[in-house]
């Protein structure tokens, strides 16, 4: 029997319930090394629940999660972070009263080796250690092009910039696996293009551009992306898993997924019963509101009974 050494994380028959609501049902999934895996599906399909189970926020009733061969299903979130699993959130979770620099430095605490007493004295090894961590943070600030906001309080920053800061904080943990929960939600086209470029650059690594910061030099070889913008997903994902009502209904390459009848039915909407393909022309729908960002700029998504938000790209 050949051992699959390329599997970074394995999820086995995971089930999660909240009272009578079954959020995940018998879900199995492999996350492979050197792969960008996208997880897509309608609202309420269980996408964020997977990430919350992986990083310890939720404790599933059944099933197991293995990371590099070690069971992590019921470990505390801080222990999982120290193992090298970092994430961003759908709703921005930053220290809104601190500066960009302080938010990024806060993420380095899991990598600091000096104890509280040595850090309080701030002499010798503790001082030297903080300088080294600060150098890594400065590289991340340069990489994400957020130098102008490095001393600004994040609570006063525009939405798109706060999303960058949160991505930077995840990178500051030097992760082996990066979990991205709708990193482009609510962004305009230009902001989405920037984030997509950063994700690809993080995955591929920057080589000797940042020789002293491993997460930028070598990249993060395993990324799980939850995203509703299908254009971005199809462009950058190596493999896609599709959820519907807590179950995995499809898994494969982007070409396989976009032609899968189950995915079209559950997420993109049923094709017209006639043999004609959708015209692709979008009509504005009055009286509709996006459940994600609240925008009223809603158009038909090209398929019957499905709508698309022009602001955040949500299909519902």
Tokens of 210: 């940042």
Per-residue pLDDT of the chain (316 residues; tens, 9 = 90+): 233 458 999 999 999 999 889 999 999 999 999 999 999 999 989 999 999 999 999 999 999 999 999 999 999 999 999 999 999 998 899 999 999 999 999 998 887 766 665 566 666 676 687 888 899 999 999 999 999 999 999 999 999 999 999 999 999 999 999 999 999 988 888 899 999 999 999 999 999 999 999 999 999 999 999 999 988 999 999 999 999 999 999 999 999 998 888 888 888 665 422 322 333 445 677 778 877 777 777 777 544 456 777 776 666 6
Contacts of 119 (CB under 8 A, 6+ apart): 112, 126, 130
Q: Which domains does the chain have, with CATH numbers?
A: 7-255 (3.40.50.300), 273-316 (no CATH)
108-112's contacts with Cβ under 8 Å and 24+ in sequence apart are 108/133, 108/136, 108/137, 108/172, 108/173, 110/78, 110/81, 110/82, 110/173, 111/173, 111/174
Residue 65: helix, strand or coil by DSSP?
A: strand
Q: What is the DSSP pairing of strand 70-71 with strand 177-181?
A: unpaired
- Output the 3-class SS for 162-192: HHHHHHHHHHHCCCCEEEEECCCCCCCHHHH
For residue 271, the model assigns a pLDDT of: 46
Contact 15, 27 (CB under 8 A): yes
For residue 274, the model assigns a pLDDT of: 30
How far apart are the C-alpha atoms of 84 and 178, rounded to whole Å? 8
State the pTM of this model.
0.80
For residue 280, the model assigns a pLDDT of: 44
For residue 70, the model assigns a pLDDT of: 94
């Amino acid at each position: 029997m050949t051992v699959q050494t390329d599997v970074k994380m394995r999820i086995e028959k995971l089930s999660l319930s909240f009272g009578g609501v079954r959020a995940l049902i018998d879900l199995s999934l492999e996350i492979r090394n050197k792969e960008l895996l996208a997880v897509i599906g309608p609202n309420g399909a269980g996408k964020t629940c997977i990430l919350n189970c992986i990083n310890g926020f939720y404790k599933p009733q059944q099933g197991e999660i293995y990371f590099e061969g070690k069971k992590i299903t019921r470990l505390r979130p801080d222990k999982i972070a120290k193992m090298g699993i970092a994430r961003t959130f759908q709703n921005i979770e930053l220290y809104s009263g601190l500066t960009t620099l302080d938010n990024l430095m806060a993420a380095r605490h899991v990598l600091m080796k000096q104890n509280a007493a040595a850090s309080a004295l701030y002499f010798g090894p503790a001082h030297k250690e903080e300088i080294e961590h600060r150098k890594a943070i400065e590289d991340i600030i340069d990489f994400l092009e957020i130098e102008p906001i490095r001393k600004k309080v994040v609570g006063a920053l525009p939405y798109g910039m706060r999303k960058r800061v949160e991505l930077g904080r995840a990178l500051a943990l030097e992760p082996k696996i990066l979990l991205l929960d709708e990193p482009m939600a609510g962004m305009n086209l230009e902001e989405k293009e920037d984030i997509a470029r950063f994700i690809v650059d993080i995955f591929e690594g920057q080589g000797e551009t940042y020789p002293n910061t491993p997460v930028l030099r070598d990249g993060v070889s395993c990324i799980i992306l939850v995203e509703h913008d299908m254009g971005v997903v199809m462009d950058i994902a190596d493999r896609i898993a599709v959820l519907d009502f807590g179950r995995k209904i499809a898994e494969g390459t982007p070409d396989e997924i976009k032609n899968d009848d189950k995915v079209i039915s559950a997420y993109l909407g049923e094709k017209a019963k006639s043999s004609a393909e959708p015209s692709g022309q979008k009509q504005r729908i009055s009286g509709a509101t996006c459940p994600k960002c609240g925008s009223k700029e809603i158009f038909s998504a090209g398929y019957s009974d499905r709508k698309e938000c022009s602001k955040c790209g949500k299909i519902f």
